[in-house]
């Protein structure tokens, strides 16, 4: 396993990590969740990603029970939670001081932990002053409840606003962003975030490297049952991702991957890892064999020469135009 610093922080994360969205507490049994976490840990993964909204909190309960049962040294792994969607009542959503404070303590209780390594603002909150959110995150760090705080799917302008408020008030600024990034979704990460990476030293924990399964190749010849895009409540995601254009790209990339002696998922994950601004790629998995197979993406990264990268670009035809052009 390769380890990368989370931006300019001193924290090292495994280049590949394990997420729990749509799986823990929902799509898979608790036994399978444990098998996946143990497999990941034994293969060098040290970061496990979660959020208060995942399975309405059950995902964190499942993960917390596994961590307690395995009794791994606390300094051997990193765990995260995210705050925004906590419930249906007025102060159970958003990034107010009250909800952020309550969400942190609720996550600690579900995880059965004394502190969270990473705590993300799951979305920006236009109804809460930025100063309020920056202050409460700073307070939680000072209290020893969290070690680093960050953002998820924030605009670069919002991130820079939070950063500048922290500097002005002598508070601890955010350290990392959790954005979507894959071969089909690139603009924000590669163009909009360029300054926060180069000037602010931001880290990134990217999600959906396989574009909600499109880049797994499972949809190349049909729509198999039991897949993520077929889950009830995710019709919006299916309509967005399961398009003729995306399927055509996936089929073309499958041929390229085969020519390299690898698979489409491994190629897609390796392509993400090739970007120096990626601190870790969060993998989602419902089966042990798929997870182990995706770990092999680390061996594919050296195969991505300039010539191969150009072949990929010729296939996806979506390379963003750098800012200023």
Whether 206 and 180 have beta carbons less than 8 Å apart is answered as: yes
Q: Give dist(CA 325, CA 323) in Å, integer.
A: 6
Q: What is the DSSP string of 72-101?
A: --GGG-EEEEEESB--SSGGGBSS-HHHHH
- The DSSP code for 153 is S
Which of helix, strand or coil describes residue 278?
Answer: coil
CB neighbour class for 67 (10 Å; exposed up to 12, middle 13-18, buried from 19): buried
Q: Give dist(CA 218, CA 290) in Å, integer.
A: 12
Using CA atoms of 199, 203, 205, 208 in order, give the dihedral in degrees to the nearest 10: 20
Nearest 5°: CA angle at 151, between 149 and 154?
160
Q: Enumerate the β-bridge partners of residue 203.
A: 176
**Alpha helix locations (H) across 96-215?**
97-111, 130-142, 156-168, 187, 194-198
**Residue 168: enclosing H or E segment and its boundaries?**
helix 156-168
- The DSSP code for 280 is E
Contacts of 112 (CB under 8 A, 6+ apart): 64, 65, 67, 68
Q: Provide the CA 262 distance to its chain's centre, in angstroms.
A: 24
User: Which of 41, 54, 148, 219 is flagged as catalytic?
Assistant: 54
54 flagged as catalytic? yes
Among all chains, which residue has been given the structure tokens 């002598």? 170
Give the active site residues.
Answer: 54
């Amino acid at each position: 396993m390769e380890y990368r610093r989370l931006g300019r922080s001193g924290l090292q994360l495994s280049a590949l990590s394990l997420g729990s969205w749509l799986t823990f507490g929902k799509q898979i049994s608790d036994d399978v969740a444990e098998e996946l976490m143990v497999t990941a840990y034994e293969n060098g993964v040290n970061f496990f990603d979660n959020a208060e909204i995942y399975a309405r909190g059950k995902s964190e309960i499942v993960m917390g029970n596994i961590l307690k049962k395995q009794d791994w040294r606390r300094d051997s792994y990193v765990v995260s939670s995210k705050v925004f969607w906590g419930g249906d009542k007025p102060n159970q959503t958003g990034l107010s001081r009250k909800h952020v404070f309550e969400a942190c303590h609720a996550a600690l209780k579900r995880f059965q932990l004394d502190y969270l390594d990473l705590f993300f603002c799951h979305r920006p909150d236009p109804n809460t002053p930025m100063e309020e959110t920056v202050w409460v995150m700073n307070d939680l760090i000072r209290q020893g409840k969290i070690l680093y705080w960050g953002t998820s799917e924030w605009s670069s302008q919002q991130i820079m606003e939070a950063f500048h408020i922290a500097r002005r008030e002598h508070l601890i600024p955010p350290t990392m962003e959790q954005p979507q990034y894959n071969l089909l979704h690139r603009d924000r990460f590669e163009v909009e975030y360029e300054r926060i990476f180069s000037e602010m030293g931001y880290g990134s924990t990217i999600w959906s490297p396989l574009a909600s399964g499109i880049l797994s190749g499972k949809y190349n010849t049909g729509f198999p049952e039991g897949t993520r895009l077929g889950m009830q409540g995710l019709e919006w995601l299916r309509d967005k991702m399961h398009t003729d254009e995306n399927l055509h790209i996936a089929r073309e990339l499958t041929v390229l991957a085969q020519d390299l002696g690898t698979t489409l998922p491994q190629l897609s994950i390796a392509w993400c890892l090739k970007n120096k601004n990626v601190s870790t790629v969060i993998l989602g998995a419902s089966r042990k064999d798929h997870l182990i197979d995706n770990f092999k993406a680390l061996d594919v990264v050296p195969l991505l020469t300039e010539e191969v990268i150009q072949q990929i670009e010729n296939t996806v035809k979506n390379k963003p135009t750098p800012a200023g052009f």
